[in-house]
Structure 1
């Protein structure tokens, strides 16, 4: 079986092979990377094939006021979300191949009418170069993980390959104010958080001594209506286990933290409501691998699994699936820490990269580069048109799903997408069952709500684990 380093290296090499467009400027810009890896255990052998099927980079979110009722803007461009959305593109294309009779590397027919399941030996793994923002990032500092960017020597100084980080023994942190400023920027959600500029400019306490425990902090804020962080010194700053929203550009967002989203995918699956129409069972990540960064297996377990482990009475096809948590010793070459090491005088201020890159293994437009929720480089006159849309935005994923449904014969549609009627043949005693497509489904919201098993599982998860999870504005889901 592949090691965590094998997975990290595969993801970094896949990123390296992509075109230059959208990538950070070495030594000045940094970003985060996430990927979905398909694992295939070959039949009758010990051979295991590993393939990156979706990869994403990004650190940004848009504010609530910038969200579009047309579904044509990417609300959340954090790497984890980009990678998962790219994976949905990949899965939709694989289902399209399956229903068209062209064969799929991922799916085979299931017993249920119009349903599909994973091929034997196929599973999916999730990789992220950094601990997910939100609850999983609230972790204790240790001697092995000085905060945030120790003076280190890298085995490779280039931006091309993965890097092993080793703290330099006897490191002296000379400027406590600079260290605290770096700590606030180290969270991947901080770059968008213009509203925190006043807090960031305040003097910080000196770094705690080894006898004074402290924690890494997250910029994600607890959801409205729930308990707030106490903001006490050191370990009393945060309350663990809370749902959190990502900060945006000077305003609140409606995007839940990546920790919360991964926890949700661990119960509902990462396939989403639309693809659940076609699948016999939800799809879960068997393993979550994190690159070299501040990391705590206990915090990952708490944030991504324990908070939901007590959820009961889920309908058939859904369950609480704890993934295996692993960490690699290889660091992403475009991490903030590596960017600071490569920074040279005259390059200007180190900053997070403004672009988000998506690549997935599909034949049509596999590479998708965006900025501020739209395709990178679009002009103002293109906004609101198909030319400006990312292939990952809701309306584009919805249209891909509608294309899948159209390619499926009416008799082979999942029950949730067809209506059955009895018809007497030639007015005789023989009555046959005719299948036809439902005509009462029109909007994106209609199709999501028609995925009844998924919605029931989501209601159980909300009731038992996440009652404060904000509900989506229906007016943002009525596009066609």
Structure 2
């Protein structure tokens, strides 16, 4: 729904309009009620339960003291009339250093602030206990902590309805209060509400209705769809999980953080971090492990994705018994059907910075020093030929092309594709990959939350990065995939940005980080061995003589996930054949629908035909990690 009066308001020096008054009088700046989506039929029916939002992040309604503005004069009040006015005499939270002149009202508020700095206005019996900043209303005779928006708009009877005065509410000389609504991840909105007073006492029932209507308008104007967890809430949850793992890069070194988060859109506690990874390193092409017991790509997004695969497989095993239903997965039709995410459960990917590759080339070019930019502009490398991949940042002016890691030209070449390309492939094939596709229907990312992107005054950078991410992750694949087998498709995730900082990011370290951290952290929720630290693709601290010991094998390595798949297949009744356990590469290729989708994406004539492949020799090992019959070295697999 579009809200013209709000969406087109331009006041960068003050942020969002200070006040949205409600009155019988005509709107000051010509805003009509229909512009704000107030429909006569919604009262008492919309948002009947505040528990639709995940994690308890309900918008906080804070009453802010306001100086007297008698120059505007009293107006009558109508719940259905909304004005979009900006009162220049009030300093908004985004309004810089504008000072308010002192008067008797502000002086009396100062005395009140010293006595009771914030107020929790509970209509629940007694005038005492004013100790919080959030207004809460309780229905008369009810035992719950508050009433829903629907109940407030339908004039629910409140206990202690007339226990408070205008003085208690810090109302201005016109009997009005300032209500600021905030929801993490969205810009705030401030409303001016009249507090009807009879014999010196405020009628809280009417005030509750007006606050509820303001909340409804805020939700309609600010959220694209109800039940969505804000980007900042996802980032904060990931940062909180990371902080508990006690992983610290060496002083002066930065890293990248990525995580997969499940979001149940119909639950209060609907956010769950299932995997987390940090890192920005990968092994050279000549160091690839041949028996699947090490990781050659330790970028954060890749580690987080492999952790998500492990969690999904382990959760499928936990959910296999009928008496242990999973909150996140279900099995439509029962065994031997594949597992799938439950309805209204979506997968969110958080990355602390823009993914490497096509999504970040323009941002990196804009951030480089002028001397290097002039040098590259003087002799730009040519774009790679069709059906090939560019190495690192070569030909960075060419957009939409495949790229390999790393970006530095002085680093040895690798066979690892850039994270932008891998995210795009996951948007077609699913994050579960070829092996887990035999037990899971495609699992797609619904939203990508990106950090370290300037916002506010730097809207141009945000718009550029959004355009690049949309092109890199799905735009370059539109209309180029042909007929994909059901249920594979091109999924276009929403691109969102967060202002929540990552403590070990490049931008958070000052003055300048010396280098990227060589260590990588892996964490998987609910796993028997939830976390480990890797260096050069192996577990840190493991001596060379124990490298092939299963006890010290990285839990996200190909061999570890191969063995996990066998155990899950046996526990869940997933169809397998004996030959599955003689070759990892052969086991990956036995899902026909996945193979057809992979060929449509990476095969001859596909949009990712130039995908750099790892040699087939590096995936020829059995379930115990022993080398299988050596294949010709010129055969490749994705």
TM-score range, shorter chain: 0.7 to 0.9
Bigger radius of gyration, 1 or 2?
2
Secondary structure of 2:316's partner? helix
Q: 1:387 to 1:231 in 2, by over 3 A?
A: closer
Q: 1:231 to 1:300 in 2, by over 3 A?
A: closer
Of stretches 87-96 and 3-12 in structure 1, the one that deviates more from structure 2 is 3-12
Within the candidate set 235, 241, 244, 2:400 is matched to 241
Is this contact kept in 2: 1:289–1:325, CA < 8 A? yes
Q: 1:278 to 1:319 in 2, by over 3 A?
A: same
Secondary structure of 1:303's partner? helix
Q: 1:229 to 1:275 in 2, by over 3 A?
A: closer
Secondary structure of 1:337's partner? coil
2:315 aligned with 1:315: no
Within the candidate set 25, 38, 42, 2:250 is matched to 25
Within a 5 Å distance, the mapping from 1:45-444 to structure 2 comes to 47=268, 49-101=270-322, 102-111=324-333, 113-139=336-362, 147=367, 179=369, 204=372, 226=388, 237-247=396-406, 250-279=411-440, 281-293=441-453, 296-310=465-479, 311-341=481-511, 350-408=514-572, 412-414=573-575, 417=576, 438-441=577-580, 442-444=582-584
Partner of 2:263: 39
- The offset of 1:230, in angstroms, is 13
Separation in structure 1 between the aligned mates of residue 437 and residue 389 of structure 2, nearest angstrom: 33
TM-score by length of 1: 0.72
Secondary structure of 2:333's partner? coil
Secondary structure of 2:416's partner? strand
Separation in structure 1 between the aligned mates of residue 430 and residue 586 of structure 2, nearest angstrom: 20
Q: 1:79 to 1:331 in 2, by over 3 A?
A: same
- The offset of 1:458, in angstroms, is 0.4
Separation in structure 1 between the aligned mates of residue 355 and residue 541 of structure 2, nearest angstrom: 28
- The offset of 1:461, in angstroms, is 1.1
Is this contact kept in 1: 2:276–2:522, CA < 8 A? yes
Structure number with the bigger relative contact order (C-alpha 8 A, sep ≥ 6) is: 1
Root-mean-square deviation (CA, aligned residues, Å) is 2.9
Separation in structure 1 between the aligned mates of residue 360 and residue 328 of structure 2, nearest angstrom: 33
- Alpha-carbon displacement from aligned partner over 1:101-128 (angstroms, at most 9, x marks no partner): 4332221122374322222221110000
- The offset of 1:136, in angstroms, is 0.3
- The offset of 1:228, in angstroms, is 5.3
Separation in structure 2 between the aligned mates of residue 459 and residue 205 of structure 1, nearest angstrom: 38
Q: 1:352 to 1:103 in 2, by over 3 A?
A: same
Q: 1:223 to 1:52 in 2, by over 3 A?
A: farther
Separation in structure 2 between the aligned mates of residue 283 and residue 13 of structure 1, nearest angstrom: 25
Separation in structure 2 between the aligned mates of residue 318 and residue 85 of structure 1, nearest angstrom: 20
Is this contact kept in 2: 1:42–1:48, CA < 8 A? no
Q: 1:68 to 1:230 in 2, by over 3 A?
A: closer
- The offset of 1:306, in angstroms, is 1.0
Q: 1:228 to 1:32 in 2, by over 3 A?
A: closer
Is this contact kept in 2: 1:229–1:239, CA < 8 A? no
- 5+ unaligned residues in a row in structure 1: which ranges? 149-178, 181-202, 209-213, 344-348, 418-437
Secondary structure of 1:18's partner? coil
- The offset of 1:264, in angstroms, is 0.1
Partner of 1:458: 598
Secondary structure of 1:252's partner? coil
Secondary structure of 1:127's partner? strand
Give the structure with the larger strand fraction: 1
Within the candidate set 574, 586, 592, 1:446 is matched to 586
Separation in structure 2 between the aligned mates of residue 226 and residue 207 of structure 1, nearest angstrom: 25
Separation in structure 2 between the aligned mates of residue 397 and residue 141 of structure 1, nearest angstrom: 35
- The offset of 1:229, in angstroms, is 8.4
Q: 1:320 to 1:17 in 2, by over 3 A?
A: same
Is this contact kept in 2: 1:56–1:357, CA < 8 A? yes
Q: 1:303 to 1:450 in 2, by over 3 A?
A: same
Separation in structure 2 between the aligned mates of residue 305 and residue 230 of structure 1, nearest angstrom: 20
Equivalent residue pairs, number: 375
Separation in structure 1 between the aligned mates of residue 611 and residue 557 of structure 2, nearest angstrom: 22
Separation in structure 2 between the aligned mates of residue 224 and residue 444 of structure 1, nearest angstrom: 31
TM-score by length of 2: 0.55
Is this contact kept in 2: 1:223–1:245, CA < 8 A? no
- The offset of 1:445, in angstroms, is 1.1
